[in-house]
Amino acid sequence: MGPVSGLVLFAVVWFMVLFVVLPIRLETQGDVGEKVEGTHAGSPATGFSMRRRLRLTTIWAIPIWAVIAGVILYGDITVRDIDMFGRMAPSASE
C-alpha cells in the first residue's frame, strides 16, 4: 500500500467514523421541545460542538485506520480467508 492509498483509506475510515459520531448524544429541538421558529425539529438544540465531533472522529479513526492498514500491509487476512462458501477457485500456491 502506497502513501496515496493510505491517505484514501484514512479518508474513507474518517468519514465513516464521522457519520457514526455525529448523532451520538445529539439533542434535537424536537427532543427538547423548544423549537425555534423557521428551523426543523431535527436541528440540534444548544450545545452542539462540531469541533468536538471532528476531534473525536479523528481520535477514533486513527487506530481503526492503523488496524486496517496493518492487515493490508502484513497480509495476515486475505480475501480467501473471508470466503465462507468456498466459491473462490484455489490459488496457484495451493
Contact 47, 27 (CB under 8 A): yes
Contact 29, 45 (CB under 8 A): yes
pTM score of the predicted model? 0.74
Q: What is the mean pLDDT of residues 63-68?
A: 95
Task: Quickly list H helices, 1-94.
Answer: 3-21, 29-32, 50-74, 79-82
Give the domain ranges of the chain: 3-82
Inter-axis angle of helices 50-74 and 3-21, nearest 10: 140
All cell numbers assigned to 15: 468519514
All cell numbers assigned to 90: 484455489
pLDDT, position 93: 65
pLDDT, position 86: 80
Mean pLDDT across the chain, nearest whole number?
Answer: 86
